[in-house]
Every structure is written in C-alpha cells, then in structure tokens.
A = this chain, B = another copy of it.
C-alpha cells in the first residue's frame, strides 16, 4: 500500500500536479483581466486565433483550441451576437462556414491583447529571458509527445 502518497510522488506525478495548478492559476488570473472586457478566456482565445481577413473554419478553430466542435459553434454564436465575429458561408464548400473578425472584433482584440500581455509579463516576470526560452522548448517537447501518445489511441476530442 502506498503510504504518504503526497510526499513520495514521482517526477511524472509532480509534472502532472504542477501543470494542473498552473493552468488553474493562469486561468483565474485571465478571468480577472478579461472580465473588464466582458470576455471569457475561450472567447479571448477565439479572438486571438481568428484571421481577420479571410476567417477560419469552425473545424479549424476546434482543432487549434482542442475543444469539441459543438463548443466552437456556441462560442461563435455568442460572439456573433456581440458583433465581434461574423459567419460567412464558404463558397468552395457549402458545408463549411468561415468565421472572421468584424472591425469591432479587431479593435477589441488589440485592446485586450495588450492588457493581457502586460498581465502575462508580470505573471511570468520572475523568470529570466533564458529561463523562459528554456521553459518554452521543454513545454513544446512535452506537448508534442502528449499529442503523439494521445493520437495513437484516438482523436483528442469529439471523437465519433
């Protein structure tokens, strides 16, 4: 039987916990910032990912954001109602919709991006530039392996 499991956790388990904690703390901080602009973190993510000129497919967004397609549909519903984005039927494939930023969407994106970026600078500010670059390269390595090992079994989300 495992005793004092809290103390004897392995490196892998420590990564696991750290990533969970960091994600939650980061997200809580985001909410504090984004609330001022009436945005959720998911909406902000859409705002930053969208191409304002030609737009993106919902499917593409769902792939990039690693969330279910239905989630994107509803996210875009909200943001369209708020006049931040607009859907345009794709002329080359009548099944698909392209979503692009409206001028208001672009304006809001730029304003929020700046505020969010400043906040991130504070929140990651205790790392040196070198540490930041190192961390990024390690995290990229982790991400690619996670994607790989997950993809082996099935799709990430919305598998059918």
Which residues of A does B touch, CB under 8 Å?
A: 1-2, 5-6, 10-16, 18-26, 28-29, 32, 45, 48-49, 51, 66-67, 106, 109-110, 113, 117, 120-127, 129, 131-136, 138-147, 149-150, 153-154, 156-157
Q: Are B26 and A146 in contact (CB under 8 A)?
A: yes
State in angstroms the CA–CA spacing of A137 and B74 once bound together: 39
Q: Are B14 and A19 in contact (CB under 8 A)?
A: no
Kindly report how many copies of this chain are found in the complex they form together: 2
Q: Which residues of B contact A132 (CB under 8 A)?
A: 11-12, 15
State in angstroms the CA–CA spacing of A108 and B156 once bound together: 26
- Residue of B with least CB distance to A150: B29
- Residue of B with least CB distance to A15: B124
State in angstroms the CA–CA spacing of A143 and B10 once bound together: 18
Identify which of B12, B18, B48, B113 contacts A139 (C-beta below 8 A).
B18
Contact (A22, B143) CB under 8 Å given A12-B117, A153-B32? yes
Shortest beta-carbon distance, A12 to chain B, in Å?
4
Q: Are B143 and A138 in contact (CB under 8 A)?
A: no
State in angstroms the CA–CA spacing of A15 and B21 once bound together: 14
Shortest beta-carbon distance, A23 to chain B, in Å?
4
Q: Are B145 and A18 in contact (CB under 8 A)?
A: no
A-B contact pairs, 8 of them (CB 8 A): A1-B106, A11-B124, A15-B135, A15-B139, A21-B66, A21-B143, A25-B150, A135-B135
